């Protein structure tokens, strides 16, 4: 198979070694991504005060609702590329990449226009305190209008990872982090733009990352050099990609609905609670980068091995990820217990705002105690999605939403801030209860398809799980190998 020197085949070799080497660059990428998000929060909290920190943090759930959909859709568009690459079908790789680019562009423009107009109404519907709503709207409107920039990076990096290159996106994230730090200092402190400066800095940084990935794709990946025919819009393929990408995007959004409801309940507890949650979430996101890296690795690992017909390797990869992740969860919990207040000091001045510090510490400790369930939510769900069952994985998002909603409506009124701290753990446990049986059912269905004659494998797709475009794509690839 003619390919560039940056691609990596995950269908051969030791699963644990491949996962480590593939996930390590991803981890650095996620860490740097969080780093410049940290810088935004730290500078806002330190220089603009707790109210501005609450304004930025209070947009987190609605941010996740919208950008989560965009990021999930891009991840879903990339899965058929990984499957085609694992099946050594170069033409399908290119056609999927081209169709994904068209879809990503259309989604980004629609989402930017709609959310840019509706963001004030969304924040008011979330019961955002009046004293911070002005800054909150100023921040999130810029982020939403920059959705095309966010999708550019997510789509480009998703294509690269599908081809086995987890390093290139990291290099540009490092560069973007440095750009973001410089712009934060210039726009927030020197130019006096306030929270709007943080949003502008973030978008410019993401633009740098996205353009960098595109340049590398063009120069170093011969497999992506397309003919005019391959660039021609393929409406049938785009429909198939939508059936993979939209469920993944909706999964993130469904999950985020629960977070929005929790944020609504927290907003009713006052600015101190909002600021504490904002600081705790920022620190927790740093520790969760390992889960994101392992999950993204499993999506590519499962996709490539599905395309190659090596189903047993998917379970081997999941076991390796579980072992690595569990060791990390224990270590992360110990670090948080010992040093959470020192780390939270990056965002909160404990001397000026002792109550914010105390509540943020309580939040991060309770969440860290449930990191192992969160680990399995990530790696099992992304393994299912890598196999093409995006609609099945979307059910986990529904369970998370129901759990968070129940906590927001029942526990927060009863336990106040402590109830809000239990929202994420409840969601993670509920999602795991749904995902594990789904994973084993999906494996059985894939194994059955591998053993079926050509004229029967389509029949299996009409079973209880319903038609799944990723599974249909796999069936087509499997038939082409026979």
Residue 321 has pLDDT above 90, yes or no: yes
pLDDT of residue 465: 34
Mean pLDDT of the 373-391 span: 87
pLDDT score at 2: 40
Is pLDDT of 323 > 90? yes
Cα–Cα distance measured from residue 463 to residue 107, given in angstroms and rounded to the nearest whole number: 31
Write down the pLDDT at residue 3: 43
Residue 474 has pLDDT above 60, yes or no: no
pLDDT of residue 373: 94
| Residue 336 pLDDT greater than 50, yes or no | yes
**Residue of higher predicted confidence among 425 and 262:** 425
Percent pLDDT > 70 in the chain is: 85
pLDDT > 60? residue 372:
yes
Asked if residue 143 belongs to a domain, the reply is yes
Across the chain, mean pLDDT equals 80
pLDDT at 350: 62
Separation of CA 369 from chain center: 22
Q: Are 152 and 9 in contact (CB under 8 A)?
A: no
Q: In this predicted structure, what is the pLDDT of residue 7?
A: 62
Say yes or no to pLDDT of 480 above 70.
Answer: no
CB-based contact 158:74 (threshold 8 Å): yes
The pLDDT-based confidence of 58 (bands split at 50, 70, 90) is low
Residue 12 belongs to a domain: no
pLDDT recorded at residue 258: 67
- Cα 17–304–224 angle (5° rounding)? 110
Residue 406 has pLDDT above 60, yes or no: yes
Q: Is the pLDDT of residue 47 over 90?
A: no
Asked whether residue 2 is assigned to any structural domain, the reply reads no
Instruction: Return the pLDDT at 296.
Output: 85
- Judge whether residue 446 has pLDDT over 90: no
Q: What does the pLDDT read at residue 376?
A: 95
Instruction: Identify the residue with better confidence: 96 or 396.
Output: 96
> Residue 261 belongs to what domain range?
19-481
86 falls within a domain: yes
Q: Is the CB of residue 388 less than 8 Å from the CB of residue 306?
A: yes
* pLDDT reported for residue 353: 72
The per-residue pLDDT for 476 is 45
Kindly state the percentage of the chain with pLDDT values over 90: 10
Q: Which residue has the tokens 């992304």?
A: 382
Query: Comparing 152 with 466, which gets the higher pLDDT?
Result: 152
Given pLDDT bands bounded at 50, 70 and 90, which one contains residue 349? low
pLDDT of residue 456 exceeding 50: no
Residue 187: both structure tokens together:
């726009």
Mean pLDDT of all residues in 240-265: 75
Lowest mean per-residue pLDDT among 165-169, 326-330, 475-479:
475-479
Higher pLDDT, 351 or 426: 426
Number of structural domains (the chain) is 1
- Looking at the domain assignment, is residue 243 inside a domain? yes
Confidence band, pLDDT 50/70/90 cuts, at residue 455: very low
249 neighbors 69 (Cβ within 8 angstroms): yes
Name 464's Cβ contacts closer than 8 Å, sequence gap at least 6.
Answer: none
pLDDT of residue 310: 84
Q: Please indicate, yes or no, if residue 439 is contained in any of the structural domains.
A: yes
Residue 47, both tokens:
């220089």
Q: What's the alpha-carbon Rg for the chain, to the nearest Å? A: 22
* Residue 377 confidence class, pLDDT cut points 50, 70, 90: very high
Residue 250 pLDDT greater than 80, yes or no: no
Question: In Å, what is the CA distance from 121 to each residue of 24, 26, 64, 113, 248?
Answer: 41, 36, 16, 14, 26
- Going by pLDDT thresholds of 50, 70 and 90, the confidence category of residue 333 is very high
pTM, two decimals, is: 0.68
Q: Is residue 6 part of a domain?
A: no
Is the pLDDT assigned to residue 458 strictly greater than 90? Answer: no
4 found inside a domain: no
Q: If pLDDT is split at 50, 70 and 90, which confidence band does 322 have?
A: very high
Max mean pLDDT range (27-31, 138-142, 230-234): 138-142
What is residue 380's predicted lDDT score, i.e. its pLDDT? 93
pLDDT beyond 60 at 416:
yes
* pLDDT tens-digit readout, 178-233: 888 888 888 888 887 878 888 888 889 889 888 988 888 888 888 888 888 888 88
What's the whole-number mean pLDDT along residues 226-241?
A: 83
Q: Cα separation of 442 and 448, whole Å?
A: 10
**pLDDT surpassing 60 at residue 457:** no
**Nearby residues of 456 by Cβ (< 8 Å), 6 or more positions away:** none
Maximum Cα interatomic distance, the chain, rounded to a whole number of Å: 71
* Between residues 482 and 152, the one the model is more confident about: 152
């Amino acid at each position: 198979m003619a390919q560039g020197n940056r691609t990596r085949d995950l269908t051969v070799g030791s699963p644990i070694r491949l996962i480590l080497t593939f996930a390590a660059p991803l981890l650095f990428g996620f860490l740097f991504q969080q780093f410049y998000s940290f810088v935004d929060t730290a500078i806002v909290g330190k220089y603009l005060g707790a109210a501005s920190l609450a304004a930025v943090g209070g947009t987190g759930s609605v941010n996740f609702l919208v950008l989560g959909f965009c990021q999930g859709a891009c991840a879903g568009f990339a899965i058929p590329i990984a499957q085609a690459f694992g099946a050594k079908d170069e033409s399908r790789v290119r056609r999927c990449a081209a169709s994904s680019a068209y879809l990503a562009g259309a989604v980004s423009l629609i989402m930017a226009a709609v959310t840019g107009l509706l963001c004030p109404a969304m924040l008011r519907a979330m019961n955002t305190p009046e004293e911070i709503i002005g800054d909150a709207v100023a921040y999130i409107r810029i982020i939403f209008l920059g959705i095309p920039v966010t999708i550019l990076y997510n789509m480009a990096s998703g294509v690269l990872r599908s081809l086995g290159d987890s390093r290139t996106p990291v290099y540009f994230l490092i560069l973007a982090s440095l750009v973001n730090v410089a712009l934060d200092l210039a726009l927030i402190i020197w130019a006096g733009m306030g929270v709007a400066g943080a949003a502008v800095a973030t978008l410019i940084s993401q633009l740098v990352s996205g353009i960098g990935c595109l340049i590398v794709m063009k120069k170093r990946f011969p497999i992506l050099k397309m003919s005019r025919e391959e660039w021609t819009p393929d409406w049938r393929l785009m429909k198939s990609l939508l059936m993979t990408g939209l469920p993944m995007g909706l999964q993130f959004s469904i999950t985020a609905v629960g977070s929005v409801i929790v944020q609504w309940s927290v907003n009713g507890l006052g600015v101190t609670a909002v600021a504490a949650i904002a600081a705790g979430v920022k620190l927790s996101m740093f520790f969760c980068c390992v889960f994101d890296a392992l999950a993204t690795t499993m999506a590519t690992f499962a996709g490539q091995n599905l395309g190659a017909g090596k189903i047993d390797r998917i379970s081997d990869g999941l076991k390796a990820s579980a072992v690595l992740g569990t060791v990390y969860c224990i270590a992360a919990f110990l670090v948080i217990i010992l040093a959470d207040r020192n780390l939270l000091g990056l965002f909160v001045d404990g001397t000026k705002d002792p109550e914010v510090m105390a509540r943020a510490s309580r939040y991060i400790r309770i969440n860290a105690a449930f990191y192992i369930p969160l680990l399995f939510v990530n790696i099992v769900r992304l393994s299912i999605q890598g196999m093409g069952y995006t609609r099945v994985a979307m059910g986990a998002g529904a369970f998370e939403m129901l759990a968070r909603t129940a906590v927001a409506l029942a526990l927060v009124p009863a336990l106040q801030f402590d109830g809000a701290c239990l929202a994420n753990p409840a969601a993670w446990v509920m999602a795991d209860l749904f995902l594990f049986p789904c994973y084993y059912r999906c494996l059985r269905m894939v194994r059955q398809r591998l053993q079926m004659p050509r004229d029967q494998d389509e029949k299996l797709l009409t079973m209880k799980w319903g038609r799944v475009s990723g599974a249909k794509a796999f069936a087509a690839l499997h038939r082409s190998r026979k």
